[in-house]
Structure formats: structure tokens, C-alpha cells
Amino acid sequence: MHELVLLTLPNQAASLTVNSPYLILSLVLIRLTLLAHLPFMVNFVVLGGHMKLEKKTHITLQDVAKHAGVSRATASLVLRGSKHITEATREKVLASMQQLGYVYDRVAANLRSKVSTTVGLIIMELANPFYSELLVGIHQELDKFGQTVILGTTFDSQSIQERLLSTMLEHRVGGIILSAVPGSPSAPINRIEQLGIPVVLVGRRLPEANCDYVGVDNVLGGQIAVDYLVQKGHRRIALVGGFSQLSSWQGRKQGYDHALLQAGLTIDPSLIIESPATRQGGIEAIEKLLLLPDRPTAIFCYNDTIAIGAMMKLKDAGINPGQDMAIVGFDDIPEAAIISPKLTTVSSFTRMMGAHAARLLYSRIEGSALEPTSVILKPQLIVRDSCSFTGKY
């Protein structure tokens, strides 16, 4: 049985266990529709609090075996995904588990076996498509190794991140994949590593963290985006969105600077607008740019979500994105290929990034003793329709 477990803190969404390997739900949808619409085995736990919603009677594996008409050993083999069980028996046992509301106590099982089959994943949020794609890549890869992903979301809060890290350790995870909150200290990560629990950073670096890292070459990504805009004839190019505390922003900014200077252009601080990496952040950044007496003719956005928000605001202002102002995003999320105009962007190969992080973490769990490794993916410019520049508005 495949599992995705969402771990949250009080007043956030519930913890979720499902028997589908690739189901990804936004936290908002979980809050609104979990009980009404999910036909799966669900166990609610508000971490750090005291509220639980569970069956009043504890269902054991023996109860499941009796209900399915098999031995406890057979039910256990089904739970562990044994290939020696017929499909008919497997379906019968899984159906009994669902009907009875059986919840596997994985922490207890890990303690008994002294081998963890769970991996912690801590990211900013699921509403951002970048993280949804990252989760798919991680989940698909770890599923090959029989690992369950325990997911926590920080919303870029250091206090939430600290509590989630503690919770992951309490759940005896075998390792942690972390997209760190900006400004996170490296010391807690290094202490976790010293406990023998490997950590892989993904997407965001921590300078002094003594652990593995997987990400995209942000400097090169920023440079190829701005090089493309310069080649299209643009001279006033804005950099929109993200925050300068992020290592990814710093890299993209470095690439932006390099491309402008290489083309003999001046870096204008008024064209660099920081904002949350959301659609609303893109909208607000465009509002500021439109107030400038000498507006840019092209915009390089920190990510695709910001770019989509930027295009929405431009349309509201009577400016046609792509025709009147060029837009380039970053990440190549699925929506980039279907929005109008289709978004020219820099692919960060997010699923591949997740898969690399998962493989690297599993190799550490299995005992790899190599020095900390950095896996840097080469970005690629994806040319679509948002840069068909026809002149100033």
C-alpha cells in the first residue's frame, strides 16, 4: 500500500494517509472537502495539539485478517507489499482495511525493525505549482524504494519549520528533504546530520549546512532569460518578484546583472521589484512598475506564478503581454503552456530535481558515506508566445 502523509501543525489541515501513490491535494482542499469526498483510509492528527479524530475502537491487524478471512501473516504480507500474495487476496485485505478504518502504526513498526521506511519532506506550500511538481518527482522516486513520504509545509515560517523538523524526528524518519525557509540557520540541520539522519536541501541553499544539495543553476537561468530579451531588442528589462534573502533569487539576480552588463546596459535599481512568489505578488509588482515615468519593455519574473499574475495585471491595464510588453518566467510549471499568451520561461526541470533529491537521500539512508554532494541541473529556455514584442505601448 502506497502512502502520502501530510503532517501539519495546529489550526492547519489534517494529517492524511491515502492508498494512491501520486495524489497531491492542496491544503485548502483538504480543509474543505476531506471528509466529504475522499474514499480512502483517513487518520486525522493535529500535530502539536491534542485534538484527534479516530475510530473509538482500535482496529488491529488481527481484526483485519479475520474480516478478510485470511491469516494475520497474510495480512501483514499485504501491508508490506509482498509479491507473494495474489491480487485477489491483496484486494480483499485492502478492502477490509478500508472498511474497518485500520491505521498502520508505522512509528511502532520502525521501532520494532530499527529500520525506517519513512522520509520527511518539508516545503513552503502546495499551492505553488513548483512544489507540487517537486513532490511528484520525489514521491515517484521514493515509491520505487518502498518509502513513504511525510509532508510538512512551512509557509516560509522559521518557527513552523523548527517544529516540523522536530516532528519528523519524533516520527523516526530515515531522512529529510528540505526546501529551507529563507534565513534559516544551518546549525539545526548540521545537528540532525550528526544524529545520523541525512538531510538533502532542494531548491534553496544554506551556505554553512554540511549536507547534500539539489537545485538548478540559477545564475545561468537568469542569464539565458535576459540574454534572450536583449536579443529581442529590449533595453529596459525589469526583474520582478521573489525576495533577496533567497539563494535562488540571488543566483537569478546575478545572471540578470551579468547579461545586462555584458550587453553594455545599465542596471537600474528602480526596475528590480521584490514581492512574494505568488500571483498576487506579480500583480502588486506590476502596479509599481506602471507608476514609473520610463517603464520597462520586458520583464524577467522570478517564477512562472509571478509571471502569470503580472500578465493578469497588464491585461487589466490595457497592455497586451507578449505584444506590448515581453514576459519571461522561470520553472516551466504546467500552466505556463496553456495560459494566454503561452509563457516563455526557463525550465528548472522540477520533477527531475525532486527525483535527484530522492535518490541522493535514499543512498544516504542506505549508508553512502561520500562527502556532501551538490547536484546542479542545467536550465533550458522554453520559447513560447509571451515575447512577441512589437514596440512600446
Task: Give the CATH number of the domain where residue 302 resides.
Answer: 3.40.50.2300
Q: Is residue 383 part of a domain?
A: no
Total domains present in the chain: 4
Same domain, 18 and 89: no
Distance CA 257, CA 8 (A): 39
Q: Is residue 144 part of a domain?
A: yes
Q: Is residue 380 part of a domain?
A: no
Per the CB < 8 A criterion, the answer to whether 278 and 219 are in contact is no
Same domain, 245 and 273: yes
Name the nearest CA neighbour of 274 among 257, 288, 261, 260.
Answer: 288
In this prediction the pTM is: 0.73
Q: Is residue 392 part of a domain?
A: no
Residue 81: band (very low, low, confident or very high) from pLDDT cuts 50, 70, 90: confident
Name the nearest CA neighbour of 68 among 91, 93, 39, 34.
Answer: 93
Same domain, 323 and 202: no
Q: Mean pLDDT over residues 41-54, rounded?
A: 34
Residue-level pLDDT at 46: 33
Same domain, 126 and 79: no
AA letter at 58: H
Same domain, 287 and 201: no
Same domain, 203 and 240: no
Same domain, 280 and 327: yes
State the residue range of the domain holding 86: 61-104
Q: What is the pLDDT of residues 240-291, one digit of tens each?
A: 999 999 999 999 999 999 999 999 999 999 999 999 999 999 999 999 999 9
Residue 254 CB-half CA count within 13 A: 10
Same domain, 341 and 222: yes
Q: Is residue 388 part of a domain?
A: no
